[in-house]
Amino acid sequence: MSGSWHDSYLGKLRKVVGTQKIMVNSVRAILLDNEGRALFIKRHGDKKWGMPAGAMELDESVFDAMKREVKEETGLDVFQATLIAIYSSPTTQTFTDRWGNEHHVIEYLFRVDKWSGTLEKETDESVDAEFYPLDKLPEASGELFARHHQRVFKDNKKFDGKLILE
Protein backbone atom coordinates (compact mmCIF):
# COMPACT_ATOMS: atom_id res chain seq x y z
CA MET A 1 0.00 0.00 0.00
CA SER A 2 2.67 2.55 -0.75
CA GLY A 3 1.45 5.95 0.26
CA SER A 4 1.04 7.94 3.41
CA TRP A 5 0.02 6.51 6.76
CA HIS A 6 -2.93 8.92 6.76
CA ASP A 7 -4.30 7.21 3.61
CA SER A 8 -4.01 3.73 5.14
CA TYR A 9 -6.88 1.90 6.81
CA LEU A 10 -5.35 2.54 10.23
CA GLY A 11 -4.78 6.22 9.47
CA LYS A 12 -8.39 6.67 8.33
CA LEU A 13 -9.67 4.77 11.38
CA ARG A 14 -7.64 6.96 13.72
CA LYS A 15 -9.29 10.07 12.21
CA VAL A 16 -12.62 8.70 13.42
CA VAL A 17 -11.78 7.13 16.79
CA GLY A 18 -8.96 9.37 17.98
CA THR A 19 -6.59 7.84 20.53
CA GLN A 20 -8.98 5.31 22.09
CA LYS A 21 -7.88 1.67 22.13
CA ILE A 22 -8.52 -0.25 18.91
CA MET A 23 -7.66 -3.75 17.72
CA VAL A 24 -5.08 -3.83 14.96
CA ASN A 25 -4.33 -6.90 12.84
CA SER A 26 -0.67 -6.96 11.95
CA VAL A 27 1.93 -9.20 10.37
CA ARG A 28 5.60 -9.84 11.07
CA ALA A 29 8.05 -11.76 8.90
CA ILE A 30 11.15 -13.70 9.88
CA LEU A 31 13.52 -13.77 6.90
CA LEU A 32 16.74 -15.69 7.41
CA ASP A 33 19.60 -15.73 4.94
CA ASN A 34 21.73 -18.79 4.09
CA GLU A 35 23.90 -18.08 7.13
CA GLY A 36 20.91 -18.05 9.52
CA ARG A 37 21.01 -14.29 10.02
CA ALA A 38 17.74 -12.39 10.44
CA LEU A 39 16.66 -9.47 8.29
CA PHE A 40 16.01 -6.19 10.09
CA ILE A 41 15.09 -2.81 8.67
CA LYS A 42 15.63 0.65 10.11
CA ARG A 43 12.25 2.36 9.91
CA HIS A 44 11.98 5.67 8.10
CA GLY A 45 9.88 7.40 10.77
CA ASP A 46 11.63 6.69 14.07
CA LYS A 47 14.98 5.43 12.69
CA LYS A 48 14.72 2.32 14.91
CA TRP A 49 15.46 -1.24 13.86
CA GLY A 50 12.68 -3.78 13.52
CA MET A 51 11.65 -6.81 11.56
CA PRO A 52 9.56 -6.40 8.42
CA ALA A 53 6.08 -5.86 9.83
CA GLY A 54 2.97 -3.75 9.59
CA ALA A 55 -0.79 -3.47 9.76
CA MET A 56 -3.20 -5.19 7.42
CA GLU A 57 -5.26 -3.14 5.00
CA LEU A 58 -8.94 -3.60 4.18
CA ASP A 59 -9.70 -6.36 1.64
CA GLU A 60 -6.27 -7.96 2.15
CA SER A 61 -5.47 -11.47 3.37
CA VAL A 62 -2.97 -12.01 6.17
CA PHE A 63 -0.53 -13.65 3.73
CA ASP A 64 -0.90 -10.83 1.20
CA ALA A 65 -0.34 -8.25 3.96
CA MET A 66 2.91 -9.96 4.95
CA LYS A 67 4.08 -10.14 1.33
CA ARG A 68 3.22 -6.45 0.82
CA GLU A 69 5.01 -5.32 3.97
CA VAL A 70 8.15 -7.27 3.09
CA LYS A 71 8.12 -5.84 -0.45
CA GLU A 72 7.51 -2.26 0.73
CA GLU A 73 10.20 -2.39 3.40
CA THR A 74 12.89 -4.49 1.72
CA GLY A 75 12.17 -4.80 -2.01
CA LEU A 76 12.11 -8.61 -1.65
CA ASP A 77 9.37 -10.84 -3.03
CA VAL A 78 7.90 -13.55 -0.80
CA PHE A 79 6.65 -16.71 -2.51
CA GLN A 80 6.14 -19.11 0.36
CA ALA A 81 5.84 -18.72 4.12
CA THR A 82 4.66 -20.63 7.17
CA LEU A 83 2.41 -19.12 9.82
CA ILE A 84 4.11 -20.11 13.07
CA ALA A 85 2.40 -17.98 15.74
CA ILE A 86 -0.51 -15.69 16.49
CA TYR A 87 0.05 -13.26 19.36
CA SER A 88 -3.09 -11.71 20.82
CA SER A 89 -2.71 -11.59 24.60
CA PRO A 90 -4.02 -8.26 25.92
CA THR A 91 -1.30 -8.26 28.60
CA THR A 92 1.58 -8.45 26.11
CA GLN A 93 0.10 -7.08 22.89
CA THR A 94 -1.38 -3.79 24.14
CA PHE A 95 0.59 -0.56 23.94
CA THR A 96 0.33 3.18 23.49
CA ASP A 97 2.35 4.68 20.65
CA ARG A 98 4.28 7.94 20.76
CA TRP A 99 1.17 9.90 19.68
CA GLY A 100 -1.00 8.54 22.51
CA ASN A 101 -2.91 6.04 20.35
CA GLU A 102 -3.83 2.84 22.18
CA HIS A 103 -3.50 -0.47 20.34
CA HIS A 104 -4.36 -4.08 21.09
CA VAL A 105 -2.36 -5.81 18.38
CA ILE A 106 -3.18 -9.22 16.97
CA GLU A 107 0.02 -10.26 15.25
CA TYR A 108 0.48 -13.06 12.73
CA LEU A 109 4.09 -14.24 12.70
CA PHE A 110 5.37 -15.82 9.49
CA ARG A 111 8.61 -17.59 8.76
CA VAL A 112 9.44 -16.82 5.14
CA ASP A 113 10.44 -20.07 3.45
CA LYS A 114 10.98 -18.89 -0.14
CA TRP A 115 11.86 -15.40 -1.30
CA SER A 116 13.89 -13.72 -4.00
CA GLY A 117 15.11 -10.37 -5.17
CA THR A 118 17.78 -7.89 -4.26
CA LEU A 119 17.64 -6.36 -0.79
CA GLU A 120 16.98 -2.63 -1.02
CA LYS A 121 18.71 -0.69 1.74
CA GLU A 122 16.37 2.26 1.32
CA THR A 123 12.67 2.29 0.48
CA ASP A 124 9.76 4.64 1.17
CA GLU A 125 9.43 2.94 4.57
CA SER A 126 13.02 2.13 5.53
CA VAL A 127 16.38 3.87 5.58
CA ASP A 128 18.52 0.76 5.97
CA ALA A 129 18.27 -3.03 5.91
CA GLU A 130 20.73 -5.64 7.13
CA PHE A 131 20.93 -9.30 8.09
CA TYR A 132 22.03 -9.79 11.71
CA PRO A 133 23.22 -12.85 13.63
CA LEU A 134 20.53 -13.97 16.08
CA ASP A 135 22.92 -13.43 19.01
CA LYS A 136 23.70 -9.83 17.91
CA LEU A 137 20.39 -8.26 16.96
CA PRO A 138 20.27 -4.48 16.46
CA GLU A 139 18.78 -2.16 19.05
CA ALA A 140 15.01 -2.21 18.67
CA SER A 141 12.41 0.49 19.25
CA GLY A 142 12.47 0.22 23.03
CA GLU A 143 12.44 -2.61 25.53
CA LEU A 144 8.96 -3.86 24.58
CA PHE A 145 10.01 -4.56 20.99
CA ALA A 146 13.40 -5.96 22.02
CA ARG A 147 11.64 -8.51 24.27
CA HIS A 148 9.17 -9.28 21.49
CA HIS A 149 11.96 -9.92 18.98
CA GLN A 150 13.56 -12.35 21.44
CA ARG A 151 10.20 -14.15 21.86
CA VAL A 152 9.68 -14.30 18.08
CA PHE A 153 13.04 -16.00 17.48
CA LYS A 154 12.54 -18.33 20.46
CA ASP A 155 9.15 -19.35 19.04
CA ASN A 156 10.66 -19.82 15.58
CA LYS A 157 13.28 -22.14 17.04
CA LYS A 158 10.75 -24.24 18.97
CA PHE A 159 8.16 -24.34 16.15
CA ASP A 160 7.37 -27.99 15.41
CA GLY A 161 4.55 -27.56 12.89
CA LYS A 162 1.92 -26.78 15.51
CA LEU A 163 0.70 -23.17 15.49
CA ILE A 164 1.76 -21.22 18.59
CA LEU A 165 -1.10 -19.25 20.13
CA GLU A 166 -0.47 -16.61 22.81
Residue 142 belongs to a domain with what CATH number? 3.90.79.10
Range of the domain at 139: 5-165
Instruction: Examine the pLDDT at 12 and tell me if it is beyond 60.
Output: yes
Give pLDDT tens digits for 31-62. 999 999 999 999 887 788 899 999 999 999 99
Overall average pLDDT of the 16-25 stretch: 92
Number of domains in the chain: 1
Tell me how far apart the alpha carbons of residues 75 and 95 are, in angstroms, rounded to a whole number.
Answer: 29
Residues 6+ apart with CB under 8 A from 75: 117, 118, 119, 120, 123
pLDDT at 141: 59
Quote the mean pLDDT of the chain. Answer: 91
Instruction: Examine the pLDDT at 2 and tell me if it is beyond 70.
Output: no
Total-model pTM? 0.92
